[in-house]
Amino acid sequence: MPDSSSPTTVRLDKWLWAVRLCKTRAQATAACRLGQVRVAGQSAKPARSLSLHEIVVLERDNLTRTLRVLALTEKRIGAKQVPAHLEDLTPPEEYARARNARSEQRLNSVLDPGTGRPTKRERRAMGSFLDQIARENGHDRG
């Protein structure tokens, strides 16, 4: 539960970091500067004062989260305390869309040749190729 000594306004970037929406304060500031954060429908700067019951929209990682500010804090809180500080208004369809986009992105990276870690077959082919080049140059690879 938020304490009685909580401030009346807080910087937006501090609040995003404190309620664990961004891993670092620098990331929170960058998100604001890149236009990924809106408050009351308008793009917000990092130093914008945030008040209770305002609606914050955060667009990151293929996900648009809509949140209502329930409590203000400048200090980073534990994960179990986050629900007392914000209300997640994001529709479930948005989470499903983001999940599908991530899985599609993973699938595409696996299917594209030359991306990711080589398979066992590809490693053997590379080893044979390097052995052949070493023999041609008179070196022993091994």
**pLDDT tens digits for 81-98?**
999 999 999 999 999 999
* Number of folded domains that form the chain: 1
Q: pLDDT above 70 covers what percent of the chain?
A: 88
User: Alpha-carbon torsion 29, 33, 34, 39, what sign?
Assistant: positive
For the cut 80, the answer to whether the pLDDT of residue 121 exceeds it is yes
- Residue 91 and residue 65: Cα distance in Å, rounded? 8
Q: What length does the chain have?
A: 142
Query: pLDDT at position 104, please?
Result: 80
Host domain of residue 18: 10-93
Q: How confident is the model at residue 102 (pLDDT cuts 50, 70, 90)?
A: confident
105 falls within a domain = no
CA-nearest of 75, 63, 66 to 25 is 75
Mean pLDDT computed over every residue of the chain:
88
Domain assignment of residue 78, yes or no: yes
Residue 118 falls within a domain, yes or no?
Answer: no
Residue 120 lies in a domain: no
Cβ-proximal residues to 16 (8 Å cutoff; 6+ apart), any chain: 22, 28, 31, 32, 37, 56, 58
Q: What is the CATH number of the domain that holds 71?
A: 3.10.290.10
Residue 37 falls inside a structural domain: yes
Residue 121 within a domain: no
Task: Report pLDDT for 141.
Answer: 62
- Vertex 8: Cα angle to 33 and 68 (nearest 5): 60
Q: What is the pLDDT of residue 109?
A: 61
Does some domain include residue 128? no
pLDDT of 21-65, one tens digit each? 999 999 999 999 999 999 999 999 999 999 999 999 999 988 999
pTM of the model: 0.71
In a domain, 4, yes or no: no
pLDDT-derived band at 117, boundaries 50, 70, 90: confident
Helices (H) and strands (E) in the chain, counts: 5, 7
